[in-house]
């Protein structure tokens, strides 16, 4: 069945959440979707049935749900809108990176496609949002980027932060305050075992990060200067 031309905000939020939960190639479970959207599992089950009937989802027996081609198209469109809005709010309106997520959540459902494309053009068609997340292009193509969480790097390694995988404003505010933003280069000075804290050197200062915080910093190894 063909998906309806106009989708509700709730449907768009579901598809975007399932897209994010499926980035590792695995189906999204009902419980994971419920947790991501802060909803009760029975409500999620009902919506999954409706989205399947609309041709936006398909069930993977005993594993969860996956987006159909049409469902993915809608989800990627919403991801593009969200990330362009975040980039515009930070780049042109003076928002800080810890304050844009909720604003973009509201605006992504309301603004026109023309406005989104004008925002992108005004910014020079950026490839990444302020958190380092790739912005899908107008054709729905998304860069496949493989980065390693800082928590999995080894002591002594020199790395560059590429993405910060959290929308929590308190975490973003703290990380921004100590310079741990996309593009920052740091050295892992020490790492405790069994998910213990890490010590990192950045801009001549040492900071200690807990495992959970280090896990949201997605990094790439950085060559030492010769």
Per-residue pLDDT tens over the stretch 150-205: 999 999 999 999 999 999 999 999 999 999 999 999 999 999 999 999 999 999 99
End-to-end C-alpha distance for the chain, whole angstroms: 59
Per-residue model confidence (pLDDT) at position 225: 57
Q: Tell me what percent of the residues of the chain surpass a pLDDT of 90.
A: 90
Residue owning tokens 């031309």: 5
User: What are 206's strand-pairing partners?
Assistant: 201
**In this model, does residue 25 exceed pLDDT 70?**
yes
Q: For 59-85, b where at least 16 C-beta lie within 10 A, e where not — what string?
A: eeeeebbbbbebbbebbbbbbbbbbbb
Helix then strand then coil, % of the chain, to nearest 5: 40, 20, 40
**In this model, does residue 3 exceed pLDDT 60?**
no
Domain coordinates in residue numbering, the chain: 9-67, 148-221
Q: Which of 202, 151, 155 is nearest to 181 (CA)?
A: 202
- pTM for the model stands at 0.91
What CATH number labels 148-221?
2.30.30.90
User: What are 67's strand-pairing partners?
Assistant: 57
Backbone angles phi, psi at 106, to 5 degrees: -75, -45
What CATH number labels 9-67?
1.10.10.10
Q: How many CB atoms lie within 10 A of CB 44?
A: 23
**In this model, does residue 32 exceed pLDDT 50?**
yes
Higher model confidence: residue 222 or residue 121?
121
Per DSSP, the three-state class of 48 is: helix
Per-residue model confidence (pLDDT) at position 1: 36
């Amino acid at each position: 069945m063909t998906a309806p031309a106009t989708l509700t905000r709730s449907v768009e939020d579901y598809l975007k959440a399932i897209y994010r939960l499926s980035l590792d190639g695995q189906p999204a479970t009902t419980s994971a979707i419920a947790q991501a959207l802060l909803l009760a599992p029975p409500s999620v089950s009902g919506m999954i049935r409706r989205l399947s009937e609309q041709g936006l989802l398909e069930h993977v027996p005993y594993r969860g749900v996956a987006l159909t081609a049409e469902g993915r198209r809608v989800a990627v469109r919403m991801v593009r809108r969200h990330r362009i809005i975040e980039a515009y709010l930070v780049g042109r309106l003076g928002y800080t990176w810890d304050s844009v997520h909720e604003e973009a959540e509201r605006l992504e459902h309301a603004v026109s496609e023309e406005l989104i494309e004008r925002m992108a053009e005004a910014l020079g068609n950026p490839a990444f949002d302020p958190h380092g997340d790739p912005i899908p292009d107008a054709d729905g193509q998304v860069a496949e980027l493989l980065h390693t969480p800082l928590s999995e790097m080894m002591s002594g390694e020199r790395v560059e932060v590429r993405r910060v995988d959290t929308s929590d404003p308190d975490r973003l505010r703290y990380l921004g305050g100590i310079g741990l933003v996309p593009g920052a280069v740091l050295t892992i000075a020490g790492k405790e075992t069994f998910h213990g804290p890490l010590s990192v050197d950045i801009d001549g200062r040492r900071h200690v990060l807990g495992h959970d915080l280090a896990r949201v910093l997605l990094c790439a190894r950085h060559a030492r200067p010769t």
